[in-house]
Structure 1
Amino acid sequence: MTHHSLHTADTATATARHAGFQRLFAPGEMTLGLIMPLETYPTVGVPTMAAHLDLARHAEDIGISALWMRDIPFFDPQYGDAGQVFEPLTYIAVLLSVTRKIALGTAGIVLPFRDPNLLARQVASLDQLSGGRMLAGLSSGDRPKEYPLFDIDFDRRAERFREAYDLYRQFTETPAPAYETERFGASPGGFDVLPKPPLGRTPALAIGRAGQGVDWIGAQMEGLIVPSPSEPDLPQAVADWRAASGDAFKPYGIAGFLHLSSDRDRPFERVRAGFKTGSKGLADFMERARDAGVNHIALNPRFTTRPMTDVLADLERDVLPRFPSLMERT
Structure 2
Amino acid sequence: MPQTRSAAPSIARVPPHEPPTESTRPHASLQKHLGFKRLFQPGALTIGLILPLETHRGRPAPTMQGHMQMAQRAEALGFGALWMRDVPFYDPKYGDVAQVFEPMVYIAYLAAATRSIALGTTGIVLPTREPMYLAKQATSLDQLSGGRLLLGMSSGDRYSDYPMLGIDFESRGERFRDAFSVFRTLTEESFPNFQSSRFGGSAGTLDLVPKARFGRVPAIAVGQAQQSIEWLAHNLDGFLSVAPNPDQLVDLGEEWREQVRIAAGANAYKPLGLGGYLDLREDPDVPFQRIPGGFRAGRNGLRDYLEVAQSAGVSHIALNPKVSRQPYAEILDELGEYVLPHFPSHV
| TM-score clears 0.5 | yes
Amino acid at match of 1:36: L
Matched, 1:156 2:176: no
SS of 2:303's equivalent in the other structure is helix
Counterpart-to-counterpart distance in 2, 1:91 and 1:259: 25
Indicate if the aligned counterparts of 2:81 and 2:117 stay in contact, CA closer than 8 A. yes
Letter in 1 for 2:58: T
In structure 1, distance between residues paired with 2:176 and 2:141: 22
- 8 A Cα contact 2:275 2:317, kept in partner: yes
Q: 1:8 aligns with which of 25, 30, 33?
A: 25
| 1:184 aligns with one of 193, 199, 209 | 199
Give the C-alpha shift of residue 249 in structure 1: 0.5
- Give 1:243 shift: 1.3
Q: Does 1:316 align with 2:316?
A: no
1:281-313 alpha-carbon deviations (Å, 9 max, x no partner): 111110011111111111111110110011001
Distance 1:7 1:257 in 2: 33
Answer whether contact 1:6 1:173 (CA < 8 A) is retained.
Answer: no
| Higher mean C-alpha deviation, range 212-221 or range 274-283 | 274-283
2:280 matches 1:265: no
Relative to structure 1, the CA distance from residue 7 to residue 162 in structure 2 (aligned partners, 3 Å threshold; closer, same or farther) is same
Question: 1:1-330 counterparts in 2 under 5 A?
Answer: 8=25, 11=27, 13-246=28-261, 247=265, 248-327=268-347
Distance 2:172 2:158 in 1: 11
Q: Following the alignment from structure 1 to structure 2, what is the Cα–Cα distance between the partners of residues 234 and 277?
A: 17
Deviation at 1:236, TM superposition (A): 1.2
Aligned length: 324
Q: Are 2:222 and 2:240, in contact at CA under 8 Å, matched by a contact in 1?
A: yes
Larger mean Cα displacement after TM superposition, 176-185 or 161-170: 176-185
Give, in whole Å, the separation in 1 of the partners of 2:340 and 2:248: 25
Contact 2:249 2:308 in 1 (8 A): no
Which residue identity is paired with 1:180?
Q
In the alignment, residue 160 of structure 1 is paired with which amino acid? R
SS of the residue aligned with 2:341? Answer: coil
| Structure 2 letter corresponding to 1:163 | D
Percent pairwise identity:
48
Shift of 1:229: 2.1
Deviations along 1:99-142, one digit per CA (max 9) or x if unpaired, are 01000000000001111110001000111111110000000000
| Structural RMSD (CA) | 1.5
CA offsets, 1:199-239, max 9 Å, x none?
Answer: 11111000000000111110101100011122212111111
Displacement, 1:58? 0.2
User: Helix, strand or coil: the match of 1:131?
Assistant: coil
Task: Tell which deviates more after alignment, 129-138 or 276-285.
Answer: 276-285
Show structure 2 runs of 5+ residues with no match: 1-17
Note if contact 1:5-1:174 (Cα within 8 Å) is conserved in structure 2. no
Q: Structure 2: how far apart are the matches of 1:150 and 1:193?
A: 26
Unaligned runs of 5+ in 1: none
- 1:179–1:4: structure 2 CA closer, same or farther, 3 Å change rule? farther
Given the two structures, how large is their TM-score scaled by the length of structure 1? 0.95
SS in structure 2 at match of 1:200: coil
